[in-house]
Amino acid sequence: MRHILLSALSGLAVIACSTEPVSEPASEPHVWQTLDGAPTLVIAHRGASGELPEHTLEAYQLAIEQGADIIEPDLVMTRDGVLVARHDRYLSTTTNVADRPEFAERRRMSGQREDWWVEDFTLAELRTLRARQPRADRDQTFNDQFLIPTFENVLDLAAAAGVRTEPEVKAPGHFVSIGLDPLPELVRILRERGLDGADAATSVQCFEPAFLARLDAEIDTPLLMLVFPMQEIDPDVGPLVPSVALADIASFADGVGPSKALLIDAEGADTGFVAEAHALGLAVHPWTFRDDQPADIDTDAELRRIYALGVDGIFTDFPATAIRVRDDM
């Protein structure tokens, strides 16, 4: 399967109308360097997660109202095989599970962490929990109000609003190892909803290339390989080496989702990552842009710099800011 992830936006034209003569010519519109020449897509990272608890229908709805082109649900699997929207397998940071005495005995070790794990809960049990804002420096007033949605709940919302989705399958290798392979359920949902084609209003992302390669053999839905700097796990590797080589990605995926650290070097110069990916026909959707982190960052300037590189989409916790800056350009 080889299809290019194309922007859902059509080209924007700037038209100036006036009954009075003008003394100076109108300024030229920004020329977008994306694969299709359309403005960069704004992807609501976990919904409008900078303002509401992440991965809730309310956070996705707010992002849609703010004008996001795409909403992004992370997907994990329940004990009874349902794909639900959570960023992590563990539940303590994004739900009120620790306050529920009936689930106290579910807390257990997994790897290096003791927590409550999504694969130990049925969907019905998860539905009794409520979502929380995991970042202490963000608004906590909406905690314990919103449900955990299923993937299909999110697709229903997106279809009704006419926006795309870009789900990320989290830790598929782990789920396969415990007998909860997310691939068959994901494929079933996409096929039943007509989202298994190259022009589907969705694309699937993952950090595990083996999973995307398996998915590539099953459906034609566009695929996005997520990558990070290899230096994060191997200090001896150069800071601009992605965790999966772009040439390898091009053999099974349609786009790449890089850490933004791979696009601009320590001196602020363009690393050439976007141009290299585009030369291979890969769309580029970097992550993650946040108004509040780090605290001293000039968010508008950062977004303008990244937009100017020609990225095809950006992941942001604050869609309204990304849209405002894009519109200004």
Q: What is the mean pLDDT of residues 53-57?
A: 98
> Is 284 inside a domain boundary?
yes
| Whether residue 55 lies in the annotated active site | no
Q: What is the mean pLDDT of residues 15-22?
A: 39
Question: What CATH number should be reported for the domain holding residue 60?
Answer: 3.20.20.190
Say which of 3, 30, 55, 87 is annotated catalytic. 87
> Is 109 inside a domain boundary?
no
Predicted confidence band of residue 106 (pLDDT cuts 50, 70, 90): very high
3-state SS of the chain?
Answer: CCCCCCCCCCCCCCCCCCCCCCCCCCCCCCCCCCCCCCCCEEEEECCCCCCCCCCCHHHHHHHHHHCCCEEECEEEECCCCCEEECCCCECCCCECHHHCHHHHHHCEEECCEEECEHHHCCHHHHCCCCECCCCCCCCCCCCCCCCCCEHHHHHHHHHHHCCEECCEECCHHHHHHCCCCHHHHHHHHHHHCCCCCCCCCECEEECCHHHHHHHHCCCCCCEEEEECEHHHCCCCCCCCCECCCHHHHCCCCCEEEEEHHHCECCCCCECCHHHHHHHCCCEECCECECCCCCCCCCHHHHHHHHHHCCCCEEEECCHHHHHHHHHHC
> Is 308 inside a domain boundary?
yes
Structural domain including 211 reads 41-88+149-328
What is the number of domains present in the chain? 1
Q: What is the mean pLDDT of residues 216-234?
A: 96
> Is 118 inside a domain boundary?
no
> Is 133 inside a domain boundary?
no
> Is 137 inside a domain boundary?
no
Q: What is the mean pLDDT of residues 196-200?
A: 95
| Whether residue 87 lies in the annotated active site | yes
> Is 95 inside a domain boundary?
no
Q: What is the mean pLDDT of residues 30-48?
A: 97
| pLDDT one-digit tens code per residue, 134-184 | 999 999 999 999 999 999 999 999 999 999 999 999 999 999 999 999 999
Say which of 45, 55, 278, 285 is annotated catalytic. 45
Q: What is the pLDDT of residue 18?
A: 37
> Is 82 inside a domain boundary?
yes
